[in-house]
Amino acid sequence: MEIARVSNHSGTAGTMRGFNLFGVPVRLHFTFVLLVIFLVVTDLGSGHTSSSYALFLVGLFASVLLHEMGHAFVGRRFGVRTTEIIMFPIGGLSRMERVLRPSEELSIAVAGPLVNILLSAGIFLYMFYMHLSVPIKMADLIQPTDANALARLAYGNLVLAAFNLLPAFPMDGGRILRALLSLIRPEDQATRTAAWMGRMLAISMALYGLLAPQPVLVFFAFFVYLGAAQESAAAMGRTLTHGIPVRAAMITQFHTLDHGNTIRDAANLLLSTSQEDFPVMHGEQVVGLLGRNLLLKSLAAEGPDAYVAGVMDRDFLLLEPGDDLSMVLPSMAHAGRCALVMDDEKLLGLLTTDNLSEFLLLRRFGMEPVV
Ligand code: ZN
């Protein structure tokens, strides 16, 4: 399978653009931004010096990022690109461009927590070397002070490693568990077990958080539950599409635009059909893609008489009719995506997020694909 070109999509819903780290875009989920604001505001209220506390938070943030870079680095060694890293309050989430084989998943999952263990060991070694005292008692660590900032960072990394190694989705430990289980069981059964562990973990965390009472645990539990549910939905999608070629799900009846058409022509087509993405042709050859959002943006910026050839997307997702649907699911995971299905130079069909979810729904109700 070859995913030739991935268009410059707008990223996962509810996230904002952060920055690039070694070529991987890092996006911030809105709940993560809320957490940062919360931490800053509560810190303003407290009396202690802010500088060491701020350094500690920045250090912890950097540790989480390095953890994700660990996943990305090992992924790259298997030839898997990381398409984005999303920062959630419970940590980062790396999106890989394709579905991983169990052996790949095992190594990639282990790499993250390993980074935290190494960071922690490095900080402890540094403290030892500099003859700094390392607090051992919990009571000396709980309250942030200038003196214990470094030790808190070292212990923080151990906590990150331990939390991520919990054998439940969406933690790395859940991925490790799934990879190991799938050696002895069918893969979707392994996935269901890891997802079930995730939901159980979330429920226990929430109950403990309510009884303790530790509201922050309830907050974390919410994300663990969401992540576990998302993983099992993704696994269900993979089971329903595994071994089915792209041509079985693609749209075969569609309209195209000519490169000489104007945005007005495109807008009329948008109105008179239910189609939202239009391949732009030059004779028999596809030269671009014009989607609904781009069309509206161009209409506002350039007016109705501009040519579609001047505004169309030249950088679109290409699929071959024989590609395995389960392998292209990750690249179709964003709402409003459209891929062109082409056999050599010939355009055969379109695959959109909408018709893909239609296809999944029909499969769930027992429809056999026409291959
Ligand atoms: Zn991780």
Q: Could you give the C-alpha distances from 14 to 1, 276, 334, 341, in angstroms and in order?
A: 30, 22, 12, 29
The answer to whether residue 7 sits within a structural domain is no
Most confident range (mean pLDDT) of 2-6, 223-227, 295-299, 333-337 is 295-299
Same domain for 93 and 32 = yes
| For residue 313, pLDDT beyond 80 | yes
| For residue 98, pLDDT beyond 80 | no
Domain assignment of residue 78, given as a range: 15-241
Same domain for 231 and 252 = no
Reported pTM: 0.70
pLDDT in tens, 45-75: 555 566 777 778 888 888 988 999 999 899 9
Same domain for 70 and 155 = yes
The answer to whether residue 164 sits within a structural domain is yes
- CA 69 – ligand 1 centroid, Å: 9
The answer to whether residue 9 sits within a structural domain is no
The answer to whether residue 1 sits within a structural domain is no
Same domain for 87 and 172 = yes
Instruction: Identify the residue with better confidence: 119 or 344.
Output: 119
As a residue count, the chain comes to: 371
Q: What are the residues facing 281 on neighbouring strands?
A: 258, 286
Same domain for 276 and 159 = no
The residue out of 220, 241, 262 marking a domain boundary is 241
Sheet containing 257-258: order of strands: 257-258, 277-282, 285-291
The residue out of 241, 276, 301 marking a domain boundary is 241
**Kind and range of the H or E element at 84?**
strand 82-88
The answer to whether residue 2 sits within a structural domain is no
- CA 229 – ligand 1 centroid, Å: 17
Same domain for 66 and 36 = yes
Same domain for 275 and 128 = no
Looking at the 3D structure of the chain, how many domains does it have? Answer: 2
Q: Tell me which of 45-49, 154-158, 359-363 is least confident.
A: 45-49
Same domain for 345 and 231 = no
Same domain for 216 and 110 = yes
| For residue 10, pLDDT beyond 60 | no
Q: Tell me, what's the pLDDT at 9?
A: 45
The answer to whether residue 170 sits within a structural domain is yes
Same domain for 219 and 292 = no
Q: Tell me, what's the pLDDT at 142?
A: 66
The residue out of 213, 241, 269 marking a domain boundary is 241
Distance, in Å, from the CA atom of 42 to the CA atom of 68, rounded to the nearest integer, reads 27
**3-state SS assignment for residue 146:** coil
- CA 172 – ligand 1 centroid, Å: 5
- CA 94 – ligand 1 centroid, Å: 7
- CA 315 – ligand 1 centroid, Å: 30
The answer to whether residue 350 sits within a structural domain is yes
Same domain for 257 and 237 = no
DSSP secondary structure string, 255-320? --EETT-BHHHHHHHHHHSS--EEEEEETTEEEEEEEHHHHHHHHHHH-TTSBHHHHSBSS-EEE-
Distance, in Å, from the CA atom of 309 to the CA atom of 144, rounded to the nearest integer, reads 59
The answer to whether residue 83 sits within a structural domain is yes
**Kind and range of the H or E element at 337?**
none
Sheet containing 91-96: order of strands: 15-21, 24-29, 82-88, 91-96
